[in-house]
């Protein structure tokens, strides 16, 4: 065959990751709660509080799945807007755009449904886009923030995703589980995911990779003793 072994494995990995999330999309949120005992909610709260969203923000949440991070960003802006309304803030000037980008349309569809339940629509600046973390299609420098929560590990080339992140944003934040993961689907997919967790670089090494992509002031915070960590960096 004209395909190298590595290349075939990489293609297989993308397909498998796709299959896993297609099959779990409808039960994803419930499983997340069960498998983290609800803790993922606190981790996402912490992520968004570190991001400090603001009215008018252009934010890109990659591997955004069913919208958990995006909803928190919007909730946070809404509560800030509430406070600002008492001051001089002009609602018309607000031009908030939160983009949820995910490779899997099933996850996005669940997210759109959840958004409707919460009363969030395009009018609130929420947009759902199917796309690959390794090849984003936004204009360079068009974002104020970038997050990728529990998603970087599923990406085939971490460096590519990081350099894409660097082209778009001012901040980059990411949550990485060192152990423990939502897994479902067939055995082969399961093995790929377990493997991807095992192979994912340790906190220090991942911080270095973020730095190598160009970000400055890179830091990370370990949660629950390093089972999960939030990495952050700035494009200055």
Residue ranges that bind ligand SAM, judged by CB under 6 A: 17, 21, 62-65, 68-69, 102-104, 107, 132-134, 149-151, 154-155, 182
Q: Which is nearer to ligand SAM, 93 or 162 (CB)?
A: 162
What is the closest distance, in whole angstroms, from the C-beta atom of residue 86 to ligand SAM in the complex?
33
Nearest CB to ligand SAM, comparing residues 68 and 144: 68
- Take residue 47 and report the two structure tokens written for it: 């992520």
In the complex, what is the shortest distance from the CB of residue 85 to ligand SAM, in angstroms, rounded to a whole number?
A: 30
In angstroms, give the least distance from the CB of 93 to ligand SAM. Answer: 30
- Smallest distance, ligand SAM to C-beta of residue 4, A: 20
d(CA 60, CA 53): 12
Instruction: Tell me the C-alpha distance between 27 and 218, whole Å.
Output: 34
Token look-up 């570190």 returns: 50
Please count the other Cβ atoms lying within 10 Å of the Cβ belonging to residue 123.
7
Dihedral angle, C-alpha 115, 229, 210, 194, nearest 10 °: -80
To 5 degrees, how large is the angle CA 34–CA 39–CA 45? Answer: 135
Residue nearest to ligand SAM (CB): 65
Would you say 57 or 69 has its CB closer to ligand SAM? 69
Cβ distance to ligand SAM smaller for residue 161 or 218:
161
Tokens describing residue 225: 């003793």
């Amino acid at each position: 065959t004209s395909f190298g072994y590595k290349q075939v494995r990489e293609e297989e990995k993308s397909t498998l990751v796709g299959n896993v999330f297609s099959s779990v999309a409808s039960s994803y949120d419930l499983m997340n709660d069960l498998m983290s005992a609800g803790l993922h909610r606190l981790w996402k709260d912490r992520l968004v509080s570190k991001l400090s969203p603001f009215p008018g923000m252009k934010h890109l949440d990659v591997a955004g799945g069913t919208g958990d991070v995006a909803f928190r960003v919007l909730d946070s802006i809404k509560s800030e807007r509430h406070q600002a309304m008492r001051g001089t803030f002009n609602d018309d000037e607000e031009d908030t755009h939160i983009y949820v980008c995910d490779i899997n349309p099933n996850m996005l569809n669940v997210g759109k449904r959840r958004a409707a339940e919460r009363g969030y629509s395009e009018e609130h600046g929420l947009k759902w886009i199917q796309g690959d973390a390794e090849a984003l299609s936004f204009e360079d420098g068009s974002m104020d923030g970038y997050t990728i929560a529990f998603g970087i590990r599923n990406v085939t080339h971490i460096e590519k995703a990081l350099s894409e992140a660097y082209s778009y944003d001012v901040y980059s934040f990411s949550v990485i589980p060192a152990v423990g993961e939502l897994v479902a689907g067939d055995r082969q997919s399961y093995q790929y995911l377990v493997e991807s967790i095992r192979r994912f670089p340790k906190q220090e090494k991942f911080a270095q990779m973020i730095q190598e992509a160009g970000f400055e002031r890179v830091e990370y915070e370990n949660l629950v003793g390093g089972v999960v960590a939030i990495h952050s960096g700035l494009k200055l």
